[in-house]
Amino acid sequence: MKPIYVRADRGFTLLEVMLAILLLAVLLAGTYGAIRTATHAMHSGELAIDRTNRLRVAQEFLRHQVSRIMPLAFGQDENTNTNFVFEGRGNFMRFVAPMPGYLSKGGPYVQTLSFAGNRRGGRQLLFTDTMLNGFDIDEKPQDKEPAILLDQIADGHFEFRTLDENNELSDWSDQWDDPSVTPVMVRVVVQMLPEARVEFPEMEIPLMLDVGAVRRQGSGQVMRGVGLQTGARPQLGGNR
């Protein structure tokens, strides 16, 4: 009688198991790298959109407020009886304008825009507002924190333009010498830091009020009748 041989099933060797585990690890590492790259790209895109939106909102707010500057006095020089209607320097502006409806309690506001340094070495564009009714230019500002419109600024300044004696536009200047009248145009020049990864386009903002209609009866005295742009109804000056 012949013996019966039973063939045993051959299993995986240790080398084959190790190779399979190594291949699985390589596949998992590649998948993780792809997911991480996609997540990083998504976050970078969201940050870029956020930076662009912040810049756009700041530009729209600046254009809205500056274009609506009103020739209303917020102070007076007691020695010369000159009304302070607009103050402007390279890094500072103060003027009267209405606030947007969602931020306003009614009436015009005395508003300031200024470039100031921060602790990180850059500069910021700051905004403050105070109701014109009850405003005293000689009083120290309250403890109200200014709003930061823009940060990560390398350098920035304001420039102003008016009409000369020939009723033609003058050159841009970063110093406004006559506080009793408003300029015709305001230019905002901002250079962003490299880490901001966004560019601030130069803004030239014309005032909606027809500044050429503003007349002075005497030294620094603004007439009560203030004209608007062509075709608009005249508006009464002075505080209301």
Domain ranges of the chain: 50-236
In 3D, which of 144, 160, 156, 59 has the Cα closest to residue 109? 144
Q: In the predicted model, what is the mean pLDDT of the chain?
A: 81
pLDDT over threshold 50, residue 165: yes
**Alpha-carbon dihedral angle through residues 158, 124, 71, 63, given to the nearest 10 degrees:** 80
Q: How confident is the model at residue 143 (pLDDT cuts 50, 70, 90)?
A: low
pLDDT over threshold 70, residue 188: yes
For the question of whether the overall pTM of this predicted structure is more than 0.75, the answer is: no
pLDDT over threshold 80, residue 102: no
Q: Say how far apart CA 187 and CA 159 lie, in whole Å.
A: 5
Determine the Cα angle at 130 with ends 219 and 74, to 5°: 10
CA distances, 51 to each of 41, 75, 76, 153, 196 (Å) = 15, 38, 41, 13, 8
Q: Say how far apart CA 10 and CA 124 lie, in whole Å.
A: 74
**44: exposed, middle or buried (Cβ count in 10 Å: 0-12, 13-18, 19+):** exposed
**Mean pLDDT confidence for 214-231:** 38
